[in-house]
Amino acid sequence: MPTTEEIPMASPIGRDTPRIDGPLKVSGTAHYASDFHFPGLLYAVPVEATIANGRIRQLDTTAAEKMPGVRAILHRANIGKIFRSSLGEGMEGICIERRPPLVDDVIRYYGQYVALAVADTFEAAKAAADAVRVTYDKNKPNVESQLKADDDPPVVATTYGTEKRLQSERGDAEAAFASAPVKLDQTYATPSETHNPIELQGTTAMWDGAKLTIYEESQAIFNMRSVLAQMFGLPQENVRVITKFVGSGFGSKLWPWTHCPLAAAAARKLGKPVKLVLSRKMMFQSVGHRAHTQQRVRLGATPEGKLVSLQQDYAYERSMLDDYHENCGEATSFQYSVPNLRVHFGRAKRNIGSPSDMRGPGAVPGLYATESAMNELADQLKIDPVQLRVLNEPKIDEGLKIPFSSRHYLECLQVGAEKFGWSQRNPEVGSMKRDGLTLGWGMAGAAWVAARFAAAANVELRDDGTARVACGTQDIGTGTYTILAQLTADKTGVPVDKVEVVLGDTSLPEGPVSGGSMATGSVVPAVFDAADNAAKSLMTLATTTAGSPFEKNEPDDLAFESGRVFVKANGPAGGIPFADILRRANVRFVTGSGESKATFEKKKPKFSTHSFGCHFVEVTWQPEIARLRVNRVVTVIDAGRIINPLAGRNQIEGAVVMGIGMALLEHTTYDPQNGAPINSNLADYIVAVNADAPSIDVHFLGYPDKVINPVGARGIGEIGLAGVAAAITAATYHATGVRVRALPIKIEDLLTSSILA
């Protein structure tokens, strides 16, 4: 494992670095999307459908239009043209709900917007929205939780390309399973989960002639620009998206939702800035959720524990119109060595708002099923679950038949077991006790894709010794501001606190999506390239400025390190600070631009690029009152070189707590009569809070992966969640003897435990 001694002490990379945006946030001076106010600002509140399946018969706006302060009640007949967007090249034009708002009278899910009230104040707009009367021709909605995939055609064209139902296959999995000496055949289910970031989604939109500017809490501002340009028939340069800060998103803010074009259309219609902020209830209906999944996993193995067959057949819910793909098989084909494998999926249409990406989409529910199955197989074979995974470690990615760029999964297991004290585990159910409580120990593995999006950046070196880095990405609360400052400081020698970071604006060089845990890995080469080009400009200036100590040198004779320019042959000792050169030349700053290409779109990659990890969990079980609690977690992550361990640990800790919510608490329930999310508030939709947070011990291996970028960094936002729920259910079984395969674990499940007082 790399040690800190191998990292140059002068470099800020790899050092615990407090977030440079922290003071702005804790002082209340950080401006989020709904914090911006403009002269003449109007407020908009959507009118929501109160059925999930049917058609609007009549929309009566008479009373609402007469209310004080109301500027307009917009609906299908008067809102103006909004076009449907289409998918472009790369990361352009992605929009989960492609149906433009108010385009027809058909209702496909509860909460679908049917009109928009606009008024001088929020209170007036809300009152007007409540006063709109809608009558419907209603049909019974389909929100059935039992998933059947019989409505899914053999090949499905999706937002992400063409998806075959047969996702991955090698060997003859069915025949190998039939002849396997040891078999496991179980079905696992995960519920609908709602993202619930603290910051509500919303849009502030304004027009200047044919130019549209919106303030939005977006995880992908350039994609949003592309979608809005299409929806309003504008050239992209006429659309500006600004996202300075995001109060978390977990994927719900990756792609545009229908409230955004509604706000823009209202601003166009009324010639005033318009602000539209969703309510918490609306956040459960119209801005995505994690899809409910059912997964049948069949494992065949030898008595010694070698896998001979793996079959994963999964189904997930989708909306009536949209094509979101919950890729539960993302990690299945490469996580373990197995000669015979088959991954197959299906979809089930439901009268719900469209599912969408939620932290670790696909892989998180997928690994819950496959890692749970591995734990059950280990118990069936009476093999330690860690040893079972060691026995089935692959040498290459057997799905793609290419080597891994970097894979240290076995070391994750070794380090995790040592840190947790796994050797002290007694595998007998209910056998471990402490302080009157029954202990349960469980573990699971984790994996997440690693890749790069395309990115561009600009770096300035200034005559006051400071630097500026600009990139049109966004910081969704993960520390991107600080990462960009660290990267720039590393290349220029300017201290982190002297680097100005500018992001969150489509007027800047095009930056990556903050999704897939790829933003950090994507910006590294772009920022480094920009800093190198700024240095080249600086050295040219140093050799062409009259009176410069380097006037007689050629640019190639010079080097730039630690903020100083020097002659290579003489070494840095005789170097001159770059600010001195700029002042001597009477130049305010030199600038450099850089860019990097995407890697995730390569059809024939040379390496399989992923991050890996594992989680060891201890639960406590109090049978007298059927109380289960996650008590401590040890997590080990192999995610390349960690640029900011302080922020990195925070990311993993947050993911683990989210995994506790997934395992024990979170589920969205739909009313079978009207299709409404029943628990559409933070009182009834239970999330993990501080009182639920256990002791969390996070370790990073720190092996650089130079295939991804020059620093060797991979993303870590999502892998910390993958596998956590499977480790918790394994620990729960070890403590209680109850095998839970449908999340979340409920008290009702545990009341069947034979280990009661």
Final residue of a structural domain among 528, 562, 596: 596
| Cα separation, 713 vs 638, whole angstroms | 10
Query: Do 471 and 579 share a domain, yes or no?
Result: yes
pLDDT at 164: 64
Length of the chain: 757
Query: Do 547 and 681 share a domain, yes or no?
Result: no
| Cα separation, 19 vs 580, whole angstroms | 29
Q: Which residue in 216, 460, 510, 718 is the catalytic one?
A: 718
**Mutual orientation of helices 480-492 and 519-544 as an angle, nearest 10°?**
30
The CA-based angle 103-109-114, given to 5 degrees, is: 40
Give yes or no: 718 in active site.
yes
Instruction: Name which of 563, 93, 156, 111 is nearest 325 in CA terms.
Output: 156
| Cα separation, 215 vs 205, whole angstroms | 7
**Residues ≥6 apart with Cβ < 8 Å to 414:** none
Neighbours of 674 (CB within 10 A): 18
pLDDT digit string (tens) for 230-260?
999 999 999 999 999 999 999 999 999 999 9
Query: Do 445 and 481 share a domain, yes or no?
Result: no
Q: Residue 324 falls within a domain, yes or no? A: no
CA 567, distance to chain mean position in Å, is 46
pLDDT digit string (tens) for 731-750?
999 999 999 999 999 999 99
pLDDT digit string (tens) for 390-424?
999 999 999 999 999 999 999 999 999 999 999 99
Query: Do 507 and 646 share a domain, yes or no?
Result: no
Final residue of a structural domain among 562, 596, 630: 596
| Cα separation, 354 vs 236, whole angstroms | 26
Q: How confident is the model at residue 334 (pLDDT cuts 50, 70, 90)?
A: very high
**Contact in structure between 351 and 153 (CB atoms under 8 Å):** no
**Contact in structure between 435 and 598 (CB atoms under 8 Å):** no
**Residues ≥6 apart with Cβ < 8 Å to 19:** 479, 481, 482, 647
Query: Do 459 and 527 share a domain, yes or no?
Result: yes
Neighbours of 164 (CB within 10 A): 12
**Contact in structure between 451 and 709 (CB atoms under 8 Å):** no
DSSP-assigned states of every residue in 231-257: HTT--GGGEEEE-S--S--TTTTSS--
> Residue 182: left if φ>0, alpha if ψ -120 to 50, beta else—which one?
beta
| Cα separation, 275 vs 122, whole angstroms | 9
> Residue 479: left if φ>0, alpha if ψ -120 to 50, beta else—which one?
left
Neighbours of 562 (CB within 10 A): 14
Helix (H) or strand (E) holding 158: strand 155-158
Query: Do 715 and 619 share a domain, yes or no?
Result: yes
> Residue 675: left if φ>0, alpha if ψ -120 to 50, beta else—which one?
left
Q: Residue 756 falls within a domain, yes or no? A: no
| Cα separation, 21 vs 502, whole angstroms | 11
| Cα separation, 748 vs 491, whole angstroms | 57
Final residue of a structural domain among 573, 596, 619: 596
pLDDT at 756: 52
pLDDT at 134: 98
Average pLDDT over residues 713-717: 93
| Cα separation, 428 vs 441, whole angstroms | 11
DSSP classification of residue 99: S
Q: Residue 442 falls within a domain, yes or no? A: yes
| Cα separation, 262 vs 254, whole angstroms | 18
Query: Do 528 and 647 share a domain, yes or no?
Result: no
Nearest-Å Rg of the Cα atoms of the chain is: 28
DSSP-assigned states of every residue in 78-101: TS---PPP---SSSSS--S--SPT
582 three-class SS: helix
Question: What CATH number is associated with residue 542?
Answer: 3.30.365.10
Query: Do 445 and 459 share a domain, yes or no?
Result: no
Query: Do 460 and 433 share a domain, yes or no?
Result: no
Query: Do 427 and 470 share a domain, yes or no?
Result: no
pLDDT digit string (tens) for 501-551?
999 999 999 999 999 999 999 999 999 999 999 999 999 999 999 999 999
pLDDT at 573: 84
Q: Is the pLDDT of residue 371 over 90?
A: yes
Tally of domains in the chain: 2
Q: Residue 705 falls within a domain, yes or no? A: yes
| Tokens of residue 461, six digits | 């070196």
Q: Residue 74 falls within a domain, yes or no? A: no
State the residue range of the domain holding 573: 4-30+452-596
Query: Do 713 and 581 share a domain, yes or no?
Result: no
| Tokens of residue 474, six digits | 């966004």
The amino acid that residue 650 corresponds to is N
Q: Residue 349 falls within a domain, yes or no? A: no
The amino acid that residue 728 corresponds to is I
pLDDT at 602: 63
Q: Residue 491 falls within a domain, yes or no? A: yes
Average pLDDT over residues 475-495: 97
Sheet holding 70-74, edge to edge: 70-74, 113-119, 42-48, 274-277, 202-208, 211-216, 239-242
Sign of CA dihedral 124, 130, 131, 137: positive
Strand-pairing partners, residue 402, are: 397
Neighbours of 402 (CB within 10 A): 16
| Cα separation, 533 vs 519, whole angstroms | 22
**Residues ≥6 apart with Cβ < 8 Å to 3:** none
pLDDT digit string (tens) for 646-699?
999 999 999 999 999 999 999 999 999 999 999 999 999 999 999 999 999 999
DSSP classification of residue 208: E
Q: Is the pLDDT of residue 160 over 60?
A: no
Average pLDDT over residues 467-485: 97
Instruction: Name which of 11, 43, 48 is nearest 674 in CA terms.
Output: 48
pLDDT digit string (tens) for 122-159?
999 999 999 999 999 999 999 999 887 555 544 444 43
pLDDT digit string (tens) for 32-62?
999 999 999 999 999 999 999 999 999 999 9
pLDDT digit string (tens) for 605-651?
999 999 999 999 999 999 989 999 999 999 999 999 999 999 999 99
Query: Do 378 and 503 share a domain, yes or no?
Result: no
Q: Residue 121 falls within a domain, yes or no? A: no
Neighbours of 606 (CB within 10 A): 10
CA distances from residue 561 to 302, 553, 558, 593 in whole angstroms, order as listed: 58, 17, 10, 18
**Contact in structure between 261 and 242 (CB atoms under 8 Å):** no
Parallel, antiparallel or unpaired: strands 455-462 and 437-449? unpaired
pLDDT at 601: 64
- pLDDT above 70: percentage of residues in the chain: 96
Sheet holding 341-349, edge to edge: 166-170, 341-349, 307-318, 293-301, 182-190
| Cα separation, 697 vs 402, whole angstroms | 33
Average pLDDT over residues 573-591: 95
